[in-house]
Chain A
Amino acid sequence: MIEFLLNGHPEKVDQVDPNLSILEWLRTKMRLTGTKEGCASGDCGACTVITGTPDGQGGTRYEAINSCITLVGSLHGKQLITVDAFQQEPGHPVQISMVAKHGSQCGFCTPGIVMSLMALHANRPDHAVVSHQQILEALSGNLCRCTGYRPIIEAGHDAMVSEWTPDASHPAAGLAGHEPPTGAGDPQSVTLTGTDGTRYDAPVTVEELRALRRDYPDSRLVAGSTDLALEITQQLKTLDHLISVERIVELQGCRMAGDELVIGAATTYQVFREILSDSWPPFDAMIERLGSRQIRNRGTIGGNIANASPIGDMPPPLIALDATLVLDGPDGPRTLPVEQFFRGYRQTALNAGEFIHSVRIPTPADDESLFIYKISKRLDDDISAVLGAFRLTLVDGVVRDCRLAFGGMAATPARALKAEQALRGKPWNEDSLAAAMAALADDFSPMSDARASAAYRLQVAGNLLRRAWLSSDAHPSEQLMVTDYA
């Protein structure tokens, strides 16, 4: 059984299919239809709801998430806030501004947009001005087909400078800083059992996880479910046994260990983004374009790696940085360079029952530069056609060392070894660059698909090396990226 608060009311849920998404549960079991299904794949945001998760320090983290690809089992111990909590006029400042600015036309995406802006409103620092970029970031996962967004963005600006002061009894009062209601559930591990023998375990310690993985080696691990849930909603699979890692404290968060940054495998993008970007600033712009805010609130670094997609965005920079994985399982922990983790298309080095425990990323040395470039059709919320991540060690204008890693160029995230060879030990100049760009054709034979053609991938991969060259010290003031220009 799992327990959580739905718009302030305690809910106990058992004997429901753990494959059920929060959205399906809301719409079919509770007949709460304010939250809409636009795609059931986490790409449109019509289903956006807010979850309140205890942050371990006595507070609550309120986050906009896609309810269509978040499984109902993940709600244990949380608050779930939906648009249905906001039916009383005059409503929340976000609602008032959306009406005032003509921010809705057909209205179908609107509940999701309202929830995304409410999450931003709840998280905005006291009296600090919310930037335009923060508003865009909050809405990056909400597609609207009618308005063209201008009135929604303006409504967002207006709402952020208005206070919301509900009674403590308001079903979503937690968003306004009121003490969250109690009764959200057992802090120990729980199991949700489906009617037909399906099962969802949510352990809280690594020991429990090891035991479960030993006992049920065929079970599937789930963290943010931003990709896994697509097997359910798009491929119509039933996953018989899911084991969630999201409540295991040991797998959460970031810490320094010696000269390495250690990120727990179940840490979400939103949580590790800032700390990782402190060490390695180029991550910030890339993560900004990785999925949407809703996805970043749920997706984890371990999930992105274990998923082993050739177009996952974290593996190439981790390979470029020579990061290490700590794997754990029934036989205890071991370490493995990220680069050696990928064994083929969606094949990994994980043994039966193993899981990713954490990622260890070396801190930068003074002579190292990192470049991360993501290329996709659309700026927000798009999957990479190509991602290039380059770490260069430059000493006196010579490339002493380099690691060039790419996503989207092969069946796995991979280094461009021949291109690296063309650079290593060579002067960092136009000739070496040309040789490295030419060598990429020997390193990779990318495929053509709906995102890009093979020829484009190869051409862009080379041009990304050129971009790195142009953005290094040799060319100080040039603007190179449209995202920097405007």
Chain B
Amino acid sequence: MRKLPLNTPTPAHTARGLAGHGAKHDSAWKHVSGQARYIDDLPMPEGTLHGAVGHSEQAHARIIAMDLDAVRAYPGVVAVVTARDVPGHLDIGPVFSGDLVLADDTVEFIGQPIFAVAATSHDAARKAAKLARVEYEPLEAVVTVTQALEKKLFVRPSHTQKRGDPDSALSTAPHRLKGEQFVGGQEHFYLEGQACLAEPTEDRGMFVHTSSQHPSEVQKLVAEVLGLPIHEVQTEVRRMGGGFGGKETQAAPVACVAALLANATRRPVKYRVSRPDDMVQTGKRHDFYNTYDIGFDADGRIRGADIMVAGRCGYSPDLSDAIVDRAMFHADNAYYLDQARVVGHRCKTHTVSNTAFRGFGGPQGMLVIEQAMDDIARHLGRDPLDIRKLNLYGPGRDTTHYDQTIEQHVLPELMELLEDSSDYRQRRAEITAFNQSSPVLKRGLALTPVKFGISFTAKHLNQAGALVHIYTDGSIHVNHGGTEMGQGLYIKVAQVVASAFQVDLDRVKVSATRTDKVPNTSPTAASSGSDLNGMAALNACEKILEGLTDFAARHWSVPESAVEFADNQVRIGEQTLDWAEFIQQAYMNRIPLSSSGFYATPKIHYDPETGTGRPFLYYSNCAACSEVVVDTLTGEYRVLRTDILFDAGRSLNPEIDIGQIEGGFVQGMGWLTTEELVYSDDGRLMTTGPATYKIPAVSDCPPDLRVTLLPDSPNREATVFHSKAVGEPPLMLGMAVWSALRDAVSSLTDYRFSPPMDPPATPEKVLAAVTASQDWLRQQQKEAG
């Protein structure tokens, strides 16, 4: 069969577990029986030491003196290293310079590692690291986004995207509203903290077991700090206990510290970061300060928009350039802004360097326009859903403010379907009636869309490699550059490979991601895992199939068109061989049974100079309808029901995709509700553990949660089996909860006042919105009477 299933529907088959089937996660049994190994579970090589770091207690200061004698003298301590002991590069910035593996003479945030300790136990290393005496000369510290904006302190240059003449559109629009919002950050709270195990190898090399979304970058940076060519360092990632973006760049410093300690002692070093240290030392989702100025007509149709998004990047660039870019790319969310200007600032502060987090700036950008949608609706006395639908992209209104044309208009229909299936209108009427008769409890409802661009905005990252081996018993082994963090990438790629050969899924094993199997890989990020690695694996399969088909045709003297791989068999003309038997024959006839594969995403380009291009291969679309109930005495609330409709294209694994959607939604809801990062005025994180930082718990799951995949919506782009990405977009469905909370509070003013409610909408913020609404009402009554 030369015609691969790439652009055809999955054929009828009897092989089990092919693409489209809801196969179980490949590690499911290992998870439930405690046999899935994470870094800290690996058997430790003889003589393994344990790492810890001492970190800065000042937000911005010069280090005058550092006395580490007590650290060195602590029982069990074997080595202490500082910046001066680093044999290679000190700077491990992933894209731009600015991140030091250990601070040199200046510290720029509370929590910045300044020295590292290796000791005979985890406990000893941590206790010893607390004994340093560091003398600081304090320097002026800038902590908040607004402080940085005032001082024009940026880690990277600001950018503008502009289409048309927004200023004149705004000044001539019949209605005009301005607003602002502070959007909170978010701690990843992967359940497995950062961890790695570094083992010295021959030739001063290093083998690193890491819990990283980006093994190639860990490999490169470890090589650089050790002053080695990259080939002396190899890294392996079997699985992560959650990543969410928090292990894209943030795993590398941990691995570099472990490698430095292992190099200094020539002993294996395990470094797992305790939860409070992890929360203090590693970057989080950027908090943003956003403003909008929007002009619209009497129907609520946007005529012009002037939007500013400013992210708190922390002390170094890390990935912030691309993250603020993505906030800008998504400041329209799903709406045609017409004449528009979007400005993005990358604010430098003396706080931890914020980093990738599921959505990568997109969520923070979308919130500004979603706030505006609600505000426009209140201003005009309309239902917010009507305003949202009116402004959706559609034919004739289909180019973004950065000049990409929307080619597949999914949302208008998707939102109609969800509006119907969630009984939005009927519930709206019922809720309005309830609110009129319930003085304390108020219910709220909102239906919000998500349009999310799929591709890395850094073009070079849109590539992937894979390695497929068929062994002589017909079993298949796959490696690819993607990492498994729970999202089910391994099983999806295995399903792709099983589909390519039309064999049972249990013949295919995807094993740990290793830099010596597949080199130069991109991070598993940007929702691209299965798009990129699935295609690379398919490409490898295609190459093997080509040789096998050619062999079958020659060996059995049939035309290539008479060779078909199906149902765990190979049909060659009139005869049929079992898969394993055929593979045996191919081996005996010296046919290659292994191949690498490669994929590079087509069509994409973007010019940062002009702020235009096609940064995304396609858009992922979805929408959520959430209902909440709010207590106007305390600000407490619950989510009562959520309906989600999601376009996963032709899903590779509907069960896994639904898991991503539900998990993403709840994570996004957490970001916008209870997850509050609190900093002191001098830049110290006060919420350093789950006792104070509250991610959603089991009772926060909506008691009525209905998730459906949009049927019959294959990706028009040639993605793997025409599936669509699913990793990040559902996080932004949490916006429906935030908007529903505002809706509930807005009922206090008969939906005339749009209450400020900066996310995260903790009970405290909700009560403040209630108070603001009551004050507004009093003011209105005073003016009226």
Contacts and interface: CB of A to CB of B under 8 A. Distances in A.
Contacts of A82: 34
Interface string A149-162: 11111000000000
Nearest to B669: A148
A95 interface: yes
B56 interface: no
B690 A44 contact: yes
A68 B30 CA distance: 22
B643 to A, nearest CB: 13
Interface in B432-464: 438-441
A284 to B, nearest CB: 16
Contact of A108 (B35, B191, B275, B689): B191
Contacts of B485: 106
Contacts of B678: 449-450
Interface in A321-348: none
Contacts, number: 268
A379 B701 contact: no
Interface string B263-291: 00000000000111000000000000000
B638 interface: yes
A426 interface: no
A136 B162 CA distance: 50
Given A34-B34, A82-B34, A136-B698, A108 B241 contact: yes
A129 interface: no
Interface stretch (A175-183, A206-214, A395-403, A460-468): A460-468
B487 interface: yes
B365 to A, nearest CB: 23
B698 A108 contact: no
B189 A145 contact: yes
Contacts of A99: 24, 28-29, 32
Contacts of B440: 467, 470, 478-480
Contact of B488 (A105, A236, A463): A105
B694 A378 contact: yes
Contacts of A110: 31-32, 36
A483 B635 CA distance: 12
B618 interface: no
Interface in B177-199: 188-193
A91 B33 contact: yes
B656 interface: yes
Interface stretch (B62-70, B582-590, B625-633): B625-633
Nearest to A42: B691
Interface stretch (B100-108, B402-410, B762-770): B762-770
A97 B126 CA distance: 39
B690 A464 contact: no
A107 B40 contact: no
Place the interface of chain A in its size category. Answer: 35 or more
B7 interface: no
Contacts of B193: 38
A12 interface: no
Nearest to A378: B694
A41 interface: yes
Contacts of B635: 456, 460
B242 A140 contact: no
Given A34-B33, A148-B696, A152-B698, A109 B191 contact: yes
A380 interface: yes
A99 B23 CA distance: 11
Given A111-B34, A145-B242, A482 B694 contact: no
Contacts of B687: 450
A365 B126 CA distance: 55
Contacts of B694: 377-378, 382
Contacts of A280: none
A453 interface: yes
Contact of A136 (B29, B192, B667, B699): B699
Contacts of A304: none
Contacts of A83: 33-34
Contacts of B699: 136, 140, 379-380
A36 B192 contact: yes
A314 interface: no
Contacts of A36: 38, 191-192, 241
B637 interface: yes
B629 A485 contact: yes
A247 to B, nearest CB: 27
A257 interface: no
Contacts of B630: 482
A252 interface: no
A106 B191 contact: yes
Contact of A150 (B34, B239, B701): B701
A482 B442 CA distance: 10
B391 to A, nearest CB: 29
A87 B36 CA distance: 11
B190 A451 contact: no
Interface string A99-134: 100111111111100100000000000000000100
B763 A375 contact: yes
A40 B191 CA distance: 11
Nearest to B44: A31
Place the interface of chain B in its size category. Answer: 35 or more
Given A39-B275, A480-B633, A149 B666 contact: yes
Interface stretch (B292-300, B596-604, B657-665): B657-665
Given A149-B701, A378-B697, A460-B634, A86 B34 contact: yes
A132 B705 CA distance: 14
Contacts of B244: 145
A483 B638 contact: yes
A347 B130 CA distance: 27
A459 B275 contact: no
Interface centre among A150, A375, A459, A486 (most CB of B within 10 A): A150
A459 B190 contact: no
Nearest to B768: A456
B5 interface: no
B638 A482 contact: yes
B27 interface: yes
B280 to A, nearest CB: 12
Interface string A431-460: 000000000000000000111110010011
Contacts of B40: 27, 33, 37
Contacts of A108: 38, 190-192, 241-242, 486
Contacts of B594: none
B29 A106 contact: no
A146 B34 contact: no
Contact of A479 (B121, B441, B691): B441
A89 B127 contact: no
A105 B694 CA distance: 20
B127 A236 contact: yes
Interface centre among B191, B274, B696 (most CB of A within 10 A): B191
Contact of A143 (B243, B656, B692, B697): B697
Contacts of A234: 276, 689
Contacts of A382: 694
Contact of A375 (B240, B634, B640, B703): B634
A380 B698 contact: yes
B553 to A, nearest CB: 42
B191 A143 contact: yes
Interface string B674-708: 10101000000011011110111111110101000
B603 to A, nearest CB: 31
B636 interface: yes
Interface of A: 27-28, 31, 33-41, 43-44, 46, 82-84, 86-87, 89, 91, 94-95, 98-99, 102-111, 114, 132, 136, 139-140, 142-153, 234, 236, 373, 375, 377-383, 385, 449-453, 456, 459-460, 463-464, 466-467, 470, 478-483, 485-486
Counting from the closest, the 6 A-B pairs by CB-CB distance are A34-B34, A106-B486, A108-B241, A107-B31, A148-B666, A105-B486
17 contacts: A38-B192, A38-B193, A98-B31, A105-B487, A106-B240, A108-B190, A145-B189, A145-B667, A377-B764, A380-B697, A456-B767, A460-B633, A463-B634, A467-B634, A479-B441, A483-B636, A486-B638
